[in-house]
Amino acid sequence: MSQKIFLQIYLQNFTNPRKYVIINWGDNMIDRELYLNRLIDAKDTEFIKVITGVRRSGKSTLLLMYKEYLKKHGVLEKNIIHINFESAMFDDIKNYKDLYKYIKDKIDSEKTYILLDEVQNVQNWEKAINSLNVDFNVDIYITGSNAYLLSSELSTLLSGRYIEIKIYPLSFKEYLLFNNYDNSNLEDKFYEYLKYGGLPAITLIKDKQDLVMSYLNDIYNTIVKKDIIDRNSIKDTALLENIIKYLASNIGSAVSSTKISSYLNSNKIVDKCNHQTIDNYLNMLEKSYIMYKADRSDIRNKTILKTLGKYYISDIGLRNIILGFRNIDEGHLLENIVYLELLRKGYKVSIGKTLDYEVDFVAENPNEIIYYQVTKSLNNDEVREREIRSLESIPDNYEKIILTMDKTINKDYNGIKVINIIDFLLDK
């Protein structure tokens, strides 16, 4: 975007949780092109656009970007209705009838673009969305910070008439852009990213350690309280917290509710818990977008296995605030970074199993399948043999790649490519 506009980032504030901080990033708003282009591609289609993602990953900013795009391309301000339901300005809109009336009164005969931020704060909001979509010439965009947005009546009322656009915290490439970093000392900047994560506001406060920790802690507590505990009326909050800590400390490891239950019970961390309760809590964590589950798949039989999936956290900074910044397991965090990057690129990602071997990631889209192994280094003979053997056990000819922090140049082991993780993240 060429015109000078402001990036509005919502920061959890210690004295006023609704305080907005307006930040100017120079003459241009920093576009998140990947997501903006997805909205542009879906513009004026019959589908309602549903933007989802963990809190503070940039959904509100994306709507602002899109609003500016609309104005720049000829849509008049009066034909854009933009509501952020985390602002006290819209506290009077409490239910779907209020929402429908408010918007109806602002619509004229021309095409109207409706942008609704954190719409789940309105009771039975989906009824208003459905009615507006039926009654008027509108193009509707909504955001939400948990998957209950899509498990509500929306999926019934609008079956086949909405598309989900998933937004994630900043990629490493975006992290460099937001910090105005050049390409020097990339490894140092990558380890900074590995420490603080990719929530956009972090790039503004990363030089103030206390503020970073307070910000991440506030976001984590808000997700746990609002999106999990309050929404699900959870009584055993200690069990929930311990499950989160278990997952955060076991990123990249096979996990099941039975394993978690056995660990918590045998170590007397909580009172007795059963695997069904843990299954329910795991589902809640996924719906809050703080955790993602990667299922295991049998590569040979092309089937999904029901047991021992892996969990990855939506942002490394949140993981580090849960376990402590000194307790950083680089190997598993690298795996987490790659997993999120593959999701950003639009792949469906699973954990591969073939014979007695495991493949870190099977990345699929309608056009291709790529197999990935992730390891910090291949300099150890045993590690190198293990990673290569896993990929060689796959009985097909799809692309096979090992990602590592080693500085390699076009290395190839019998057709298996070896790529530096930073180069992979920067699309080199």
Number of H helices, E strands in the chain: 18, 15
Q: What are the b/e assignments for 311-331, b being 16+ CB within 10 Å? A: bbbbbbbbbbbbbeeeeebee
pLDDT digits (tens, 9 = 90+) for 22-73: 333 434 457 899 999 999 999 999 999 999 999 999 999 999 999 999 999 9
pLDDT of residue 223: 95
pLDDT of residue 15: 33
Quick check: 95 and 122 in contact, CB under 8 A?
A: yes
Burial of 134 (0-12, 13-18, 19+ CB in 10 A): exposed
Distance between CA 414 and CA 38 in Å, rounded? 37
Per-residue pLDDT of the chain (428 residues), as tens digits, is 333 333 344 343 333 333 333 333 434 457 899 999 999 999 999 999 999 999 999 999 999 999 999 999 999 999 999 999 989 999 999 999 999 999 999 998 899 999 999 998 899 898 899 899 999 999 999 998 887 777 766 667 776 788 999 999 999 999 999 999 999 999 999 999 999 999 999 999 999 989 999 999 999 999 999 999 998 999 999 999 999 999 999 998 999 999 999 999 888 888 778 888 999 999 999 999 999 999 999 998 888 887 789 999 999 999 999 998 876 668 889 999 999 999 999 999 999 999 889 999 999 999 999 999 999 999 999 999 999 999 999 999 999 999 999 987 668 888 999 999 999 999 86
Q: Where are the domains of the chain?
A: 7-166, 170-207, 329-428
pLDDT of residue 115: 98
> For domain 7-166, which architecture applies?
3-Layer(aba) Sandwich (3.40)
Residue 68's closest CA among 82, 56, 47?
82
Residue 34's closest CA among 11, 2, 65, 12?
65
What tokens appear for 2 in the block? 């060429």
Residue 194's closest CA among 9, 375, 325, 310?
325
pTM: 0.90
In Å, how far are 367, 372, 392, 401 from 398, measured between CA atoms? 11, 11, 11, 10
Q: Beta strands of 11-77 (E only): which ranges?
A: 20-23, 48-52
The one-letter amino acid code at 414 reads N
Question: How far from the centroid of its chain's Cα atoms is residue 48's Cα?
Answer: 20
Q: What are the b/e assignments for 280-292, b being 16+ CB within 10 Å? A: ebbebbebbbbbb
CATH number of 329-428: 3.40.1350.70
pLDDT of residue 7: 38
